[in-house]
């Protein structure tokens, strides 16, 4: 199996104001925040919501706050991304995290993923914005990661 590791820098996607500030959780993310990526990127990452989750979202994702995103497979292999997100309060990164296990999807398909805003020892982070930083796709389990 061919190794397929790609890191796409999504810093331009700093989702400031995308969704809601933590604690309000009542507005969906603005639809105009698409991932900054080239056609060679295997996934399109689209933020859908950033902030404190509704009770339905808590039941769905088992987290209380974070970033909910859509991922679309534009590659040639069935896979899923591992998205790294910074949770920011003002000019300070309150913490960062990556999504948990999400389903692999076939080329041309989309699914929903989530990155929980959880700090050390499971503490909930206090943040106002979500900044997707990068993602990796690892098909051969080598663990190799490229830095943006």
What are the pLDDT tens digits along the chain (148 aa)?
Answer: 333 333 333 333 334 344 433 333 433 343 333 333 334 578 889 999 999 999 999 999 999 999 999 999 988 888 888 999 999 999 999 999 998 889 999 999 999 999 999 887 777 789 999 999 888 886 645 453 432 2
Distance CA(68)–CA(77), nearest Å, equals 23
Distance CA(83)–CA(111), nearest Å, equals 13
- Where are the chain's structural domains? 11-134
**Spatial contact of 130 and 18, defined as CB atoms under 8 Å apart:** yes
Closest CA to 13 of 39, 36, 42: 36
Model pLDDT, residue 40: 56
Compute the C-alpha angle 18/8/115, nearest 5°.
Answer: 45
Distance CA(88)–CA(53), nearest Å, equals 16
pTM: 0.72
Model pLDDT, residue 16: 39
Model pLDDT, residue 7: 33
Tokens at residue 129, please? 């914005």
Model pLDDT, residue 77: 84
């Amino acid at each position: 199996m061919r190794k397929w590791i790609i890191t796409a820098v999504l810093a331009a996607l700093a989702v400031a104001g995308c969704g809601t500030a933590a604690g309000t959780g009542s507005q969906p993310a603005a639809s105009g925040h698409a991932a900054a990526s080239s056609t060679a990127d295997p996934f399109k990452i689209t933020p859908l919501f950033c902030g404190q989750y509704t009770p339905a979202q808590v039941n769905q994702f088992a987290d209380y706050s974070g970033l909910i995103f859509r991922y679309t497979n534009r590659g040639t292999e069935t896979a899923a991304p591992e998205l790294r997100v910074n949770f920011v309060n003002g000019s300070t990164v309150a913490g960062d995290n990556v999504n948990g296990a999400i389903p692999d999807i076939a080329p041309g398909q989309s699914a929903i993923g989530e990155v929980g805003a959880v700090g050390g020892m499971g503490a909930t982070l206090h943040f106002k914005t979500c900044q997707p930083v990068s993602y990796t796709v690892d098909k051969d389990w080598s663990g190799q990661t490229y830095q943006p």
